[in-house]
Amino acid sequence: MELMRDCQDYPLRRILSHAEAAAENGVWSVFIPGTPIATDGPDFDTAIDEMIDALREYAEDWQDRLSDAPNHRGNR
């Protein structure tokens, strides 16, 4: 999986397998419990694509500033 390769040495790698998905009222939601990362989409594939984008953005933000933020330290 491309995302796993992108995050090979990154702390998020260990939580990627904990993502959960649910469909409700015609919308798919994908989230990782215990993190601020969640997405929705009109179908499962779109929600997964959005999750990949959200994880990449979070990884960039982590490197830039979130690793030192008190409310994100538990996501290491």
Check whether domain 2-65 has CATH 3.40.640.10, yes or no: no
Q: What residues of the chain score a pLDDT lower than 50?
A: 1-4, 6
8 Å CB contact between 25 and 40: no
pLDDT tens, position by position, 23-42? 999 999 999 988 888 999 99
Contacts 24+ apart (CB under 8 A), 48-53: 48/21, 51/19, 52/2, 52/3
Taking the domains of the chain in order of start, what are their residue ranges? 2-65
The pLDDT value given to residue 4: 47
